[in-house]
Amino acid sequence: MLLKIVQALRAADNIVVLLHNNADPDALGSAFAIQQAFGKVTIAALGGMDRVSKVVATKLSIIVEETIDLEEFDLIAAVDSSSAEQLGVDGDIVDVVIDHHAPTGQWTGPLHFIDENRRSCAEIVLDLVRAADHTLSRDTGLALAAGMLTDSGHFRFSNPALLDSMASVLREAKIGMDEVMDLTDMESDVSERVSQLKGAQRLRFDRIGDKIAAMSQGSAHESSVCRAIILAGADVAFVGSQRDGEFRISARGKQDLVRKGLHLGRLLDQIGEEIDGRGGGHAGAAGLAGAGDVEAVLNMCMSQATDFLRELRDAARAEDVG
């Protein structure tokens, strides 16, 4: 399938690569590598980029459009997105998809390569540009390495395949790990720290055996608040925000729960289907957005998570008795 995608990209005269809402460095680096390998490529983030991506784009002089006319392009590609809703476009217009999230069943029409075993989309794009016989430049290597680093939680959630890909990028692009770290490391700004503190104030949690599920509400930086709650002691956390009739939820889980079967991407995808929302992501990190009351949806998330924790607890007890 990668070779078919290479052929499609080579055959197109004018390509746009779409990034998901609040695009992260993995999406940005993936799109930039495609741009460098195939040329005639515009990068577009219709829903904006996160703070780290904006800094990476500035440092590497990557131009990202926030408004475009999609009718001007003869091929529309999407990276690092499990659904068209995350892109802010109609899914029927997308021609090529490259992703590493749990499949949601939405990308059946376009040419697609989806591998949820990859820790980052950048790893798949690395294989893609190699299939196109493209040699990595220094900046392309930095962009791909930044995606691998950040999406693996600075290697906390990496696997051998990601480490192999990272090592090969460093060698080929002749860059050091310190340069990648300098590109992505940023101090939390005051608004992010305030959001974390407010999230702690509004925290609610349930203890099931020796595990803790927690939820909170805020107005911004949901994923950052989620990480802070996990660091504070929760095993799985959900943080939501409400904007008029729309909500957004981020979820995080510890890897020991993931190894025991927790998959937040599938959990939020299932809830999204029930409420006509848009959910998905990785086993240990996922998101959900839609219309409705955020507190009600957070309660649904908590109910699913605590059911999972009870099953783990009961299974452990049965094993001890046996």
Instruction: Please report, in tens digits, the pLDDT of each residue of the chain (322 residues total).
Output: 889 999 999 999 999 999 998 899 999 999 999 999 999 999 999 989 998 999 999 999 999 999 999 999 999 999 999 888 888 888 789 999 999 988 877 777 778 999 989 999 999 999 999 999 999 999 999 999 999 999 998 998 899 999 999 999 999 999 999 999 999 987 777 888 899 999 999 999 999 999 999 999 987 889 889 999 999 999 999 999 998 889 999 999 999 999 999 999 999 999 999 998 888 888 898 999 899 999 999 999 999 999 999 999 999 888 877 6
Q: Are residues 198 and 77 in the same domain?
A: no
Q: Are residues 227 and 120 in the same domain?
A: no
CATH number of the domain residue 131 falls in: 3.90.1640.10
CATH number of the domain residue 314 falls in: 3.10.310.40
Per-residue model confidence as pLDDT tens digits over 179-231: 999 999 877 778 888 999 999 999 999 999 999 999 999 878 898 899 999 99
How would you class 11 by CB atoms within 10 Å of its CB: exposed for 0-12, middle for 13-18, buried for 19 or more? exposed
Choose one of 153, 184, 215: the last residue of a domain.
184
DSSP code, position 288: E
Range of the domain at 134: 2-184
Q: Are residues 48 and 135 in the same domain?
A: yes
Closest CA to 301 of 257, 259, 233, 250: 250
Place of tokens 């994923």: 223
Q: Are residues 81 and 120 in the same domain?
A: yes
Amino acid at 64: V
Place of tokens 């079967």: 261
Per-residue model confidence as pLDDT tens digits over 83-121: 888 888 887 899 999 999 888 777 777 789 999 899 999
> Which pLDDT does position 322 carry in this prediction?
63
Closest CA to 265 of 42, 40, 104, 53: 104
Q: Are residues 238 and 299 in the same domain?
A: yes
| Distance set, CA 268 to CA 96, 208, 312 (Å) | 24, 20, 19
Choose one of 154, 184, 214: the last residue of a domain.
184
DSSP code, position 219: S
| Distance set, CA 314 to CA 218, 280, 300 (Å) | 33, 27, 21
In angstroms, the CA 297 to CA 320 distance is: 35
Number of domains in the chain: 2
SS3 at position 213: strand
Q: Are residues 276 and 237 in the same domain?
A: yes
CA 104, 109, 115, 116: dihedral to nearest 10 degrees? -10
Q: Are residues 202 and 122 in the same domain?
A: no
Place of tokens 């094993």: 319
- Cα-trace Rg, the chain: 20
Choose one of 184, 203, 229: the last residue of a domain.
184
**Does this model's pTM top 0.75?**
yes
Q: Are residues 174 and 199 in the same domain?
A: no
Q: Are residues 273 and 165 in the same domain?
A: no
In angstroms, the CA 11 to CA 69 distance is: 21
Q: Are residues 278 and 178 in the same domain?
A: no
In angstroms, the CA 65 to CA 18 distance is: 10
Which residues 6+ apart lie within 8 Å of 197 measured at CB? Answer: none
DSSP code, position 49: B
Structure tokens, 256: 């020991």
In angstroms, the CA 236 to CA 248 distance is: 17
Q: Are residues 10 and 157 in the same domain?
A: yes
Q: Are residues 170 and 146 in the same domain?
A: yes
